[in-house]
Structure 1
Amino acid sequence: MTRIRIEKIFHRGAYRIGVFFEKDFETIAIIKGLGAVYSSSRRCWYLDYSKAAYHSLRSHFPDLVVVTESSLSTMVTGATNRDLSPIASSSALQLGSSLSNPEHKQLETTSAQLKLQLLPNIGKYWVFKMHFHHEISKQLLRIKGVYWNGNYKSYMVFRNEAVKLNVESVLGVSDFFGLDYFVKDAFVLKGTIKVLPHAESVSWMEVYVPKMVLVHEKLKRFSMMRYSKSKQCYLLPAAPVIMDSLYHQFESTGISITSLLPKNYLDKRHLPNKKQLDLSMTKKSLLDLVPHQAQHYLSSMIDTLLALNYSSSTLRTYCGAFIQFLRYFEFRDPEHVSREAIIRFLGSLMERGLSATSGHSMVNGVQFYYQQVLGKRDFNFVLPRPKKEKKLPIVLTMEECLQIFKVVDNPKHKLLLLIGYGAGLRVSEIVNLRWSDILFEEHKIHVKNAKGKKDRMVMLPYSIVTSLQLYRELYKGKHYVFEGQFAGEPYSTGSVQQVMRNALKLSGLEKKATVHTLRHSFATHLLENGTDIRYIQQFLGHSSIKTTTIYTHLTKTAVDKIQSPLDRMVDINSKKKLDD
C-alpha cells in the first residue's frame, strides 16, 4: 500500500487535512471516494478539517503518518509550538497511541546541515543552493518571490526586504542575503539605436541595437520582427507606424534613436499583413533547412503551393515531407529518382515506426511535387499508401466537462474553454475569433477562413452571451475576442492548450484530454441528444459525412441499450431457476 502522510494546511480560506502520497491510481480512487479534492498549488489532495474526515482516512489507511504543527514549527523556526493539531492530539488519545511515536517526532534541521551556499546575483534575484530537504523546500516555494531554477539547480529569491526576512526565517539564519535590494529605477539605459535602409529590399529597415537585454526584449515585442544573423540586426517593416512605435517604446528610457533612412523611404504600403508575414517567414525557415544546391527544387515546390493559395500549415507539412525525401536521396534531382527507389524510401519510413497519418502526408508531399511542380499528371505514378489505424477519439462526459470548467477561475480562460466546447471550435478558430464574427442578435458565430479555407455558421450558446458581453467590457479588446500578450495580436494556440492542461490537472481527471477533446465531446453530446448527424457535420465543418460518423461509435446512450449476449444468457438462466 502507498505510504500516506497527512498534514494540517490552510487552503481556500479554511484549515484542511492535506493528504500527501506518491502518485498511485488505486489510492487516488479511494481518496476521491472520500470526497477529497486535488490542490494544484499545494500539490496534494485535501479534505475538510474534521474528526469525521480524519477517521475516514484512518479506516482506509491504518498506517498513515500524521505531521503535527509542532513538528513543522520546530523544523522551520527551531522553536516548539505548544498548539498541537486537534486531529493528531485527540485522535491519538482515542486510538490509544502515543505522541512520542518516532513518525511524529520533531524535525530539527540546522543551517549547517542544509549546507547553504550563496551564489552571485542574477538580475533582480539572489541565488542560493542547499541540500534538499522536502519540508523546507516546500515552505520556501510557498513564499511569493521564491522560485526554483531547474537549469541552475538553485533557488531564486527576489531581492526584496520582506522576501529576504521570510526566506531567512524558514532557513533559520539571519543576514544570509545582502542589503542590495532591487530598485526598478536603478538601471539607467544608455546607448543609441541606429536605423538603416535594407539593401536587399526597400520594404524593410535594419535596426541595430546596443547589447542590453531590456532593449532586445523590447524589440522582440514587435510581431513583424525578423532577426538577421548575417548582419546581426533586427529587420522591421519600413512603415511610418513602425517607426512611430519604435520611438514610443524607447521615449521614456535613456536610449536615443538615430535614423539614417533616405527621404520618403518609409511607406505604409510596406506594412505586411499577418498572412503575408506568416507565409514569408515560413518560406524562409524552410529554405534554411536545405543546402544551396537543393534550394531550387524546394523553391519551386513553395512557389507552386503559394500560387495555389495553400495555407502556411500545408506549406510546412508538404515541404517538410519533401525535404525529408530530398535528404534521403542526398539532394539529387528528383526527376532522376525512379518509382522503385521512392517506394523503398516510403517503406523504410514505415519500417522505422512512422504513423499512418505521417505516411499519408509524406505520400501527398512527394506526389504533389511530381504532379503539380513537374507537371507529370499523366505519369503513372501510383504510390502505395499505408493503412490507417482506426482510433477512436477521447471524449469527456458532460459531468467531466463541467468539472473542468468549474476549476478555472480566470474569466478569460474559462470563456475560451466554454466557447470551444459550446460551439465545437478548433483551437485555431478560438484564437482567431473576432468580435465582428460574433452575431449576438442571431445567436450565431461566423467562423471565417477555417480549415480548408472554409467559412461556416455555428451556434452561439445562450448561456454565455451575458458573460461574453461582460468580458468585452472588462478586457476592451479591439479586434480579437481573446487577445494575446500584446494588444492587437491574437492569443497563441500554445497558451490555450496550456490553459486546458492546467484545468485538467486541477480537476483531478485522469483522461488525457486537449482542447480538441472538447470539440469531440461537443459532437458526441449532440448526437446523444438526438441531433441529426447532417447538422453536426455542418457545425464541425467536415467536408465528408464519413468523418462525422466516427462519433456514432462513441454515443453512450445507444451503447447502453445494447445487452451483451453473455448477460442475456445469465438473465435467462437466472429466470429459469426462479421459475423452477
Structure 2
Amino acid sequence: MSITLKKIWHRDAFWIGIYFPYDSGVISKLKSLDARYSKTHTCWYIDYNSVSYAKLKDHFADLIIELPSSSEIKTSYPVAGNLESRDLPPIAKSEHQSGFEISQNNPGHKTDPYSFATKMRLQLLENIGKYWVFRMHYHQTVSKELLGLKGVFWNSNYKVYMVLRHPKLKQEVEVILGTVPFFPEDYYSKEVTFKGERIVISPHPEDLAWMEVYVPALVVLKEKIKRFSMVRYSTTKNCYLLPAAPTVYEGLLLHFEPSLVLIDSRLPKGYLKKQHLPNRKQLDLRNTKARIFDQVPEGAQAYVSDMVDTVLALNYSSSTLKTYCSSFIQFLRQHDFRNPSDISQPEIKRYLGSLMERGLSASSGHSMVNALLFYYQRVLCVPAFELKLPRPKKERKLPTVLTMDECLRIFQVVDNPKHKLLLLIGYGAGLRVSEIVGLQWRDILFDEHKIHIKNAKGKKDRMVMLPYSIVGSLEYYRQLYGVRQYVFEGQFAGEPYSAGSVQQVMRDALKKAKLEKKATVHTLRHSFATHLLENGTDIRYIQQFLGHSSIKTTTIYTHLTKTAFDKIVSPLDRMVDDNNKKKIRE
C-alpha cells in the first residue's frame, strides 16, 4: 500500500502530513511513532524534521512525496490586506532540490519569510449588519487576545470572527493581526433598514404545526432568521420553517421591526396555536438525534438507530442519549463500523484496555462500559452478556468552593438586575445551571418560600428553599419584565435563557471581581452546600436540597468545611508553640 507524504500547515507550525487508505496496521505503526490525527486535514501528521522523516522511511517502504505545484504554492497562502504572494519558503525549496530532505536544526522555521497574516490565511468577508467579518486559521494566543476585546465575537456556526465596525476596535484588532490596514473604514453609525422589503409567512401544507417564512435574498435578514432556535430550512421550497405558534409569530414581528421590514402574513385565521410550539424535551431530543446520525455512515445507521430507539423507549434524557450513543459510535468507528454482533468479547476487552493506555479519564471509561453493556444487554437482548474486568478507578477530586466573602464580591460587581438575580438564586437555592434556565414562574411558591424543581437530573422533582432576601427582588423583576413562562427568558419570547449565556455572566463577574479561582455557576452550588454544612445544617437535609440520590455524593462537602478544618492544629505548629512557651518560662 502506498503512503503519500505532504507538507501541511497545522496548529501554527509545519508538519509532515501522511495520507493513505484506511489500514489499522499502518495506524498502529504511526501511533508508535507519536503521530497524531488531524480532523482538519483528514490525515495523520508528524513533526516536520529529518528525524521524523527517517523514521517513516524505516517503517514504510513505499513512500510517495507529493510536492506542491506552482499554482498550489500561490494559492495555499491567501493574500491578506495589501500583501503580495511570494515563492516557497526556504524549507519547501529544499524539498524541490533533494526530495524531502528537511532541516533538522530549524524545526520551528524561524526564517520563514511569510507574514503572520499569510500563514494564518487571513481573509476578510462580507459585512454582516454592524460587524466586519473575517476568517483565519486557529492560533491559541491570537484568538485569546481577539476574544478578550469588547466587540469581538466568534461565530461557531460559520467559523468566523465578527468585529464591531468602530475606529478604536479596528486599530486594536489590526495590531493583534499584524496587518495594517485590514478592515475598510465603513464604520457602523446606525441600524441598517430595509424599508420596502417584504417577509412572506404562509401555511405549511405538509405539517400544519409549522409555517413557511420566505425571506428576501439579503444576508443580514437571513442571518437574523437563522438566530431563531427552532428554525429549519426547506431546500425544496427555498424557505425557512418555524413552529406555527403565537409566541414565535410575535417574536418575528419584534425581531424585524427595527429593520422596517414588512411582515406579510398569509396565514388563515386560527392557524397559529400554542400547542404547535415544541417543548424543550422534544427540541433537545430532536437536535441530539440529528447530531448523532450525522456522525455515522449510512451502512451503520441501523445499529445506532436501534440504540436510539431503545434509549427513547426507556424515557432516558437527551443527555443520557448523547453520552451512550457517542461512546457507542466511538466503539463502532474503531471497529470499522462492523456489525456489533460479530465483535467478540476479547476484542471488546482489548479495545477498553487500549482506551486506558491512551489516558482516557475514569469517567469516560465508565461511560464506555455502561454504553456497551446497555447495547448488548438491552438492545441485542443478551442478558447474560458481561464484561468481567475491573472498572476504571475514579479520580477523587475536591470541587472548587468560594468563600462567602468571594461570593459577595461576585454579586456586587454584577450591575444587570437579570444577571445578578440568576446568580443569586443559583447560590441561594443551590441550583444547577440547567435548573436556573428552566425555572418557571409557576414553580416559585412565594407564600411557602419554596421553589419546586421539576424533572431535574435523574428525572427527579424536589423542593428547595426560596431565600427571603431575594423575594422582593424577584417580585420587582416580575413587574419589570412582565409575567411570562420562564423566569429568565432568552432572546426570543417563550424561550428560556441559554446555559452558555449564564456561564458567560459568571465568567464576566469573576473577571470584574478579580478572583483568581477557576469557578463556574456550578461552583456556586458547591459553595451553597459547603456553607450550609459550616453553619451546622444536617447533611441529610443538604442531600435533599441538592437532589443527590446517595449520601456518599453529599459527604464530599465534609472535606471542604472551613469550620471543622480550622479547629485542627498541625502537630508541627503545636511543637513550635510548646517550644516557644518553654523558652518563655526559662
TM-score (norm 1): 0.66
User: What is the CA–CA distance in structure 2 between the aligned matches of 1:496 and 1:126, rounded to whole Å?
Assistant: 24
Instruction: Rate the CA distance shift 1:484–1:247 in 2: closer, same or farther, 3 A.
Output: closer
User: What is the CA–CA distance in structure 2 between the aligned matches of 1:358 and 1:256, rounded to whole Å?
Assistant: 51
1:275 deviates by: 1.6
1:440 deviates by: 1.0
Instruction: Rate the CA distance shift 1:568–1:296 in 2: closer, same or farther, 3 A.
Output: same
State whether structure 2 residue 261 is matched by structure 1 residue 253.
yes
1:117-176 deviations in Å (ceiling 9; x for gaps): xx99946669799xxxxxxxxxxx9xx9x95689689882389xxx9xxxxxxxxxxxxx
User: What is the CA–CA distance in structure 2 between the aligned matches of 1:213 and 1:489, rounded to whole Å?
Assistant: 25
Structure 1: 5+ residue runs without aligned partners? 1-118, 130-140, 164-176
1:433 deviates by: 0.8
Match of 1:101?
none
User: What is the CA–CA distance in structure 2 between the aligned matches of 1:344 and 1:570, rounded to whole Å?
Assistant: 55
Instruction: Rate the CA distance shift 1:475–1:158 in 2: closer, same or farther, 3 A.
Output: farther
1:422-479 deviations in Å (ceiling 9; x for gaps): 1111111111111111111111111111100101111111111111111111111411
Structure 2: 5+ residue runs without aligned partners? 1-123, 135-145, 155-159, 171-183
State whether structure 2 residue 388 is matched by structure 1 residue 379.
no
State whether structure 2 residue 197 is matched by structure 1 residue 190.
yes
Larger Rg: 1
**2:449–2:466 CA contact under 8 A, matched in 1:** yes
Instruction: Rate the CA distance shift 1:317–1:125 in 2: closer, same or farther, 3 A.
Output: closer
State whether structure 2 residue 495 is matched by structure 1 residue 489.
yes
RMSD (Å), alpha carbons: 3.7
User: What is the CA–CA distance in structure 1 between the aligned matches of 2:255 and 2:373, rounded to whole Å?
Assistant: 48
TM-score (norm 2): 0.65
Instruction: Rate the CA distance shift 1:561–1:323 in 2: closer, same or farther, 3 A.
Output: same
Instruction: Rate the CA distance shift 1:257–1:387 in 2: closer, same or farther, 3 A.
Output: same
Query: Match for 1:327 among 327, 333, 338?
Result: 333
**1:250–1:256 CA contact under 8 A, matched in 2:** no
Query: Match for 1:340 among 326, 336, 346?
Result: 346
- Whichever residue aligns with residue 261 of structure 2, its letter is T
- Whichever residue aligns with residue 190 of structure 1, its letter is E
- Aligned pairs for 1:146-545 within 5 A: 156-157=165-166, 184=191, 187-190=194-197, 193=200, 195=202, 197=204, 204=210, 207-228=213-234, 233-237=239-243, 253-254=261-262, 256=264, 270-545=276-551
SS at match of 2:165: strand
**2:328–2:368 CA contact under 8 A, matched in 1:** yes
SS at match of 2:351: helix
1:255-308 deviations in Å (ceiling 9; x for gaps): 65667x9x9998876543332222122212211210111111111111111111
1:81-126 deviations in Å (ceiling 9; x for gaps): xxxxxxxxxxxxxxxxxxxxxxxxxxxxxxxxxxxxxx99946669
Q: Report % sequence identity.
A: 65
SS at match of 2:241: strand
- Whichever residue aligns with residue 545 of structure 1, its letter is I
SS at match of 1:429: helix
User: What is the CA–CA distance in structure 1 between the aligned matches of 2:273 and 2:515, rounded to whole Å?
Assistant: 54
Corresponding residue pairs, total:
430
Instruction: Rate the CA distance shift 1:463–1:202 in 2: closer, same or farther, 3 A.
Output: closer
User: What is the CA–CA distance in structure 2 between the aligned matches of 1:236 and 1:126, rounded to whole Å?
Assistant: 26
User: What is the CA–CA distance in structure 1 between the aligned matches of 2:278 and 2:164, rounded to whole Å?
Assistant: 44
SS at match of 1:428: helix
Instruction: Rate the CA distance shift 1:126–1:552 in 2: closer, same or farther, 3 A.
Output: closer
Instruction: Rate the CA distance shift 1:548–1:127 in 2: closer, same or farther, 3 A.
Output: closer
User: What is the CA–CA distance in structure 1 between the aligned matches of 2:210 and 2:567, rounded to whole Å?
Assistant: 66
- Whichever residue aligns with residue 379 of structure 1, its letter is F
SS at match of 1:509: coil
State whether structure 2 residue 573 is matched by structure 1 residue 567.
yes
